[in-house]
A = this chain, B = another copy of it.
Amino acid sequence: MNMMDDTGGRETSATRAAYLSLRKMILVGDLPPGQKLKIEQLRAMLKMGASPIREALSLLTSDMLVERIDQRGFRAAPASIANFEEILTLRSALEDMALRQSIAQATSEWEELLVLSHHKMKRLAGADTFEDAHKTFHMTLLRNAESPMLERYCSQLYDLNIRYRYLAAGGAGYQSRDIAAEHEDIFDAAVRGDAESASAALLSHYRLTGEYLTTQLGAL
């Protein structure tokens, strides 16, 4: 009874399916910060046994999206302004490092990837797949650093950051500034090979987003 091996929308293992679902739910706030994640409850929700769920939760620990307390189960990672600012600081430092390295080792291949990802992001403005394209663009900027661990950290921090975006946006997702122009600045400087400007533009991009979000985060 082969399940028609769908290479497209596959859910190979139950663990992976649970991992992806839970991750998304935590990122977008369906599972709010600090919430207890009871196995039974999730078991019912995801229609699978306890094992894959426990395993998925354990894996989500890596991403700092889930906390595990021995003998006391799992909970969605807590959120706070201090934590948000920590993420912002670390992200700025690490992405700065990665971006400079990327540019220092620039190749035409990489430039092409960059052009492509930037184009796709622009084209998807407004679409619900924009978020993915946006992350891809940012990660492409860093990918050329050829530093897998650094890349992983940055990816992690990116996700943690957009989590706060969802938390802040009680609905109002619009911002007054021109995000597209900011991306353009980073992009232009990067393909131009101007590390200094690219880094400055990137950091300013993050600082602005950070300030905006901080004001929105009255709660917590």
Contact = CB atoms under 8 A, between A and B. Distances in A.
Interface in A54-91: 54-55, 58-59, 61-62, 64, 68, 70-71, 83, 86-87, 89-90
Given A16-B70, A51-B51, A71-B12, A149 B61 contact: no
B64 A61 contact: no
Given A93-B93, A149-B90, A13 B61 contact: no
Interface in A31-51: 51
Contacts of A16: 70
A9 interface: no
Grouping DSSP codes into helix (H, G, I), strand (E, B) and loop, the A interface class, with mixed when no group exceeds half, is helix
Number of copies: 2
B86 A150 contact: yes
A71 B149 contact: no
B148 A86 contact: yes
Contact of A61 (B54, B59, B70, B89): B59
Contacts of A87: 149
B12 A147 contact: no
Interface of A: 12-13, 15-16, 51, 54-55, 58-59, 61-62, 64, 68, 70-71, 83, 86-87, 89-90, 93, 97, 147-150, 153
Given A13-B71, A86-B147, A90-B150, 8 more contacts: A13-B70, A15-B70, A58-B59, A58-B61, A64-B149, A86-B149, A86-B150, A93-B93
